[in-house]
Amino acid sequence: MSQPTAGRETSGATTGGLLRYVRSQAGDDAVAEVLRRAGVAASAAELEDQSRWWSYDTRIDLFAAATEVLADPRTMYRVGAAALQSGLAHSLVILLRAMGAPRQVFGQLPRAVQKFSTTSTMEILEATATTATIRYRLHDGFAHSRLDCDYTQGLLSVVPQVFSLPPARITHEACQSDGHPACLYHLTWDRRSRLPWRRGGSARVDPELQALRGQLQILQSAATDLVASDDVDTVLERIVARAAEAVLAPAYLLAVHAPGGGPPLVHGAGLAPELMPELAAVLLDGGDLGSDAVVVDVTSARRSHGRLAALYRPGGAAMGDEAAMLAAYAGHAAAALDLIIALEDARTEADRAGALLVLAHELALATDIAEVTELVTSALPRVVGCTRACLLLWHPGAGVLRASSTVGMSDEQSALLQAAELRPEDVPELVGMLTDRTPLIIDDTTSSPLLRSVLRGISSVDVVAVPLLAGTTFLGVATVGWQAGEAPPSLAGDVLVRLCGVADQASTALQKARLLQTVRHQATHDALTGLPNRVLFLDRLTAAIAAAGPRAHLGVLFCDLDRFKQVNDTLGHAAGDELLRQVSARLRAAVRPGDTVGRLSGDEFAVILPGLGEPGDADGLAARVIDSFREPFRLDGVEVPVGTSVGVGVLGADGGTAEELLRAADAAMYRHKHEGRPTSARG
């Protein structure tokens, strides 16, 4: 068994007993004064928690402060002697009483001492029916305190009282504070038969009965405390804290299976955090933690949750039937976990139902595809219970599936996924989804090579994928995933049902968004060439003007075709339409990538030229446009020469609004046409 963490040298049973004694003698104000004088930052509640351990220095500081506050040099002896009244662990009293007589108790006392302190060693040099000689040595590296010696004597005097006998009488023959190698105590006590109160029949409270009553009250309190918890983590923390009231030990470890799957839930006290996962794995696997541990199952009639262990230092194994006492707490803990898990399941289902309603409302208001995909992926973790999600859209023209939005991934993982292009010829799973339209449950060990590479790149071990369908049309895929150890035990049940429900909503919303996108495109684009129409062109020009800085240069080209009417009259309107399509292609090829080409009406085109280095650069671009018309167009197998007249408008010089710039460029175009010059005209 691994050693507990450093600094756990004094049990909370000791510090708690001290504070309860001070409180009984002088009230809460005296307790507060003890903490102030001792310079202890911990609260009284923390110091009275038996699952907490403290340093030896804290122990001695508290002893000295209590002696000062109560103004009694015998305070620490009295604290030890009052242990039965001020809260000595009920479980320990029961264990000691079960040994039958003081002589047997003293024989086991060295082991019992380890439940309270790790800084001293006790040896029983001699024990008879009415006497005992004890050697008690503080370990090297610690400064011996007479207060600690007084406290130890008080505790030793209590042993006969556990058996309803008067306190032991103690002779202190040697003290380590005086330079002796150890403290020596000689104890004597009365035989049971010599007690006059026994013969007279006078009534006394039996310590064992008192301890049993206290143990029952603690068990009842534990049950109430655990059931009152709000969540699983809180219950687990309280189980560990309450375990210290069942058995005193330097460390505790609780490991339970996560209710929804995933890594086990582990809580402990007195153990280094880095050691807990390995010990918890052994615990849950049913492994043996050795003779220095008391291990019980946390099991109810409904399920086995996990295991609870009290851990001792080497040689400090359990005394008596401590496993039964710990098991009693574990039973309450299991019942509380049943209740909390049921409540959390109910809350989760209510949260999922609420998330679905919110998603339905948001999707009803969504107007574009990007917004739909973001809303769906954001909702999936709450609805499905996954840790990451992704929506991939099918691009039929390219025959490829691409990620549109992700959640629960790092920026690097999202970038990797969105850069991936999944094609049917490379991903067999996609072929199956395209043909039979059924969901898939995928893991990174059995998937195809390309898909496996993607999954491992984003650290997704388990994935559920559902097709997005509009009738028989394949729109894309909704996926939910988990990293290693996070997935619930079954992905084919509720997880799949909930994902299919979200996928249905997503499909409807995507279909609506695509229809709206088509309508918007038709309203703002020329149906023949696909270029922005006059409305959209003016909107973009207005936006470009607003975005231009005070020193920026922005230009507009206005183009009108020469001989367009003649083409229509001689070759027909179909040839005219084809000419317009070819003209739009030449214009886009002639200008820069960031320029906007629009068809305003008939054979009139315009170009927005943002970010010009100088106003005169617009003339150079106009010349490039004119030059692109020098080659004839081929219509119905016939080469047809068609030219263009171009006018230029520049922001500032020719106006400050979109309409003013366009009018200036239009006027310049007409001058260019009528003058018959081979270059453009300026507004």
pTM, rounded to two decimals:
0.50
Residue 332: closest CA among 220, 230, 247: 220
Whether residue 548 lies inside any domain: the answer is yes
Verify that 135 and 272 share a domain, yes or no: no
Whether residue 413 lies inside any domain: the answer is yes
Cα separation, 532 vs 524, in Å, equals: 6
Domain interval for residue 31 = 10-191
Verify that 503 and 619 share a domain, yes or no: no
Is residue 313 exposed (0-12), middle (13-18) or buried (19+ Cβ within 10 Å)?
middle
Cα separation, 198 vs 437, in Å, equals: 88
Q: Quick check: helix, strand or coil at residue 247? A: coil
For residue 392, pLDDT over 70 is answered with yes
Verify that 383 and 510 share a domain, yes or no: yes
Sign of the CA dihedral 216, 217, 220, 223? negative
- Which CATH number covers residue 579? 3.30.70.270
SS3 per-residue string spanning 148-193: HHHHHHHHHHHHHHHHCCCCCEEEEEECHHHCCCCEEEEEECCCHH
End-to-end CA distance of the chain: 91
Tens-place pLDDT, residues 415-442: 999 999 999 999 998 888 888 888 989 8
Tens-place pLDDT, residues 48-95: 887 788 999 999 999 999 999 999 999 999 998 887 766 555 555 655
For residue 167, pLDDT over 80 is answered with yes
Cα separation, 588 vs 608, in Å, equals: 11
Verify that 214 and 330 share a domain, yes or no: yes
Give the count of beta carbons closer than 10 Å to the beta carbon of residue 122.
Answer: 21
What was the pLDDT predicted at 3?
A: 40
Verify that 271 and 143 share a domain, yes or no: no
What was the pLDDT predicted at 233?
A: 72
* Beta pairing class for 388-395 and 473-482: antiparallel
Query: pLDDT band for position 604 (50/70/90)?
Result: very high
Verify that 473 and 565 share a domain, yes or no: no
- Which CATH number covers residue 477? 3.30.450.40
Verify that 122 and 156 share a domain, yes or no: yes
Whether residue 350 lies inside any domain: the answer is no
For residue 646, pLDDT over 90 is answered with yes
For residue 29, pLDDT over 60 is answered with yes
Whether residue 358 lies inside any domain: the answer is no
Domain tally for the chain? 4
Give the count of beta carbons closer than 10 Å to the beta carbon of residue 357.
Answer: 10
For residue 499, pLDDT over 80 is answered with yes
What percent of the chain is predicted at pLDDT more than 90? 42
Verify that 512 and 643 share a domain, yes or no: no
What was the pLDDT predicted at 230?
A: 59
Residue position matching structure tokens 């043996």: 288
Cα separation, 654 vs 541, in Å, equals: 14
Sign of the CA dihedral 12, 15, 18, 20? negative
Residue position matching structure tokens 């996926």: 479
Verify that 501 and 546 share a domain, yes or no: no
Whether residue 65 lies inside any domain: the answer is yes
CB contact at 8 A, 475 and 468: yes
Verify that 443 and 557 share a domain, yes or no: no
- Which CATH number covers residue 61? 3.90.1520.10
Verify that 265 and 312 share a domain, yes or no: yes
Sign of the CA dihedral 546, 547, 553, 554? negative
Q: Which of 496, 521, 546 is the last residue of a domain?
A: 521
Q: Give the distance from CA 522 to its chain's centroid.
A: 46
User: H helices then E strands: how many in the chain?
Assistant: 24, 22
